[in-house]
Amino acid sequence: MPTEYHRSIKRAMLRFIPCPKLDGLASRPDFSGWGLSRNAVRLLLRDPNAFLLGGVFDRLVTVNRAWECPALLADRLGHLDVRRIAKMSERQLARVLGRQSDARALHRFPSMMARCVISACKRLVNQYDGSAANIWKRNPGANEVLRRLDEFEGISQKIAHMVERMGRH
């Protein structure tokens, strides 16, 4: 049985899937029970790249921390431009993700996450013209979406399979 967490992820992902039958469901995903800042929610709802990176961060940390990370990363970098992030070194990004003098680390494993985030950004730039929305371009079938998400280092099976299940409805 899907939890509220799964339903919220599903509604948010549907926002980026151009499927007329489901537009009504996806218009206002509800992240209210997640303990996210308004800034994080706004970013997740308007930026498919932030949403994809939330999925990358969603491992080995709490759910609310993972989905807050794209907004926190944007604050620390001053942007969330996947083209610029793709050009960063892992060491450089790991320092950004790590503990700052006035703030805790964005993730428990900054070096591992730096590798995953840079890899995801490079894949977005090289295969999807810099936009995660293009993963769902031309209404691919569920298996194709699952295959595409599977190619992203760090996207968990849980996130990928939620997308696959959405394709069956």
Q: What is the CATH number of the domain that holds 138?
A: 1.10.340.30
Give residue 114's pLDDT. 97
pLDDT band at 15 (very low <50, low <70, confident <90, very high): low
- Exposure string of 96-113, with b = 16+ CB inside 10 Å and e = fewer, is bbbeeeeeeebbebbebb
Q: What's the pLDDT tens digit per position in 37-51?
A: 889 988 988 888 998
Res. 88: pLDDT tops 60: yes
Identify the residue with better confidence: 60 or 125: 125
Give residue 168's pLDDT. 36
For residue 31, what are the domain limits?
4-167
When pLDDT is averaged across residues 7-34 and rounded to a whole number, the result is 54
Provide the number of structural domains found in the chain: 1
Give residue 77's pLDDT. 96
Q: What's the pLDDT tens digit per position in 136-151?
A: 888 787 778 888 888 9
Res. 91: pLDDT tops 80: yes
Q: State the DSSP code for 98.
A: S
